[in-house]
Amino acid sequence: MTAKLSGIPETLLIPLWARAVEGEEPDPIVRDDKAAEMVRQIEYDFAKFAKARLSQLGVAIRTMLLDRATSDFLRRNPDGVVVNLGAGLDTRRHRLGVETDWYEPDLAESLELRRRFFEETDRYRFLTASVFDTEWMEKVDDAGRPVLLIAEGLCIVRLPFIRSRIAPRIARLRFEQSTEGGDES
């Protein structure tokens, strides 16, 4: 399988590689067998990332922390909904073995590659959209349940946008759904 990516979508391969490499350590911070399997199947020059040891370690630590936060959220909210923004080739749902409602809005090019490794179900949905175009939010069926929003890779490059546009919009939608009436303005 050949990965033909460039620009932003290509960056989805870096954390995939980092998690796969971490699993080869004697005492790994995170073990991600699915990532290792995917790296073996994607024809791509992952060797160009080999000197990025600090970045690889950072991804492993971030993965561990977000896995813990996600598990904790779902332990406290077993009916909760997870939205993994710009998930790329993240394997968190698979790694944690959860069956909660889980959405992954991402670019079409990223989802095309993702679909080679993961199947959508009625509880695991891919939404073709730029996460910066907030219309994808209308497709998230949370029915008033708690929502965990993961923006792992996006926060690195677009934290100001997430804080100013996406988070307030989600909060506004959630508030409007929980009250009678509501005004979009």
pTM (2 d.p.):
0.83
Extended beta strands in the chain, E state = 81-84, 101-106, 124-128, 147-150
> What is the rounded average pLDDT for all residues in the chain?
84
Return d(Cα 41, Cα 33) in angstroms, integer: 13
Comparing 118 with 7, the larger pLDDT belongs to: 118
Q: Report the share of the chain in percent with pLDDT over 70.
A: 78
Nearest to 39 by CA among 47, 51, 29: 47
Tell me the pLDDT tens digit for each residue of 81-117: 999 988 999 999 999 999 999 999 998 988 999 999 9
Domains and CATH numbers, the chain: 8-177 (3.40.50.150)
DSSP H stretches of helix in 84-166: 92-96, 108-114, 154-161
- Facing residues of 81 across strands? 101, 147
Comparing 46 with 10, the larger pLDDT belongs to: 46
pLDDT category, 155, cuts 50, 70, 90? low
Tell me if 54 sits within 8 A of 60, measured CB to CB. no
Nearest to 39 by CA among 11, 63, 10, 18: 18
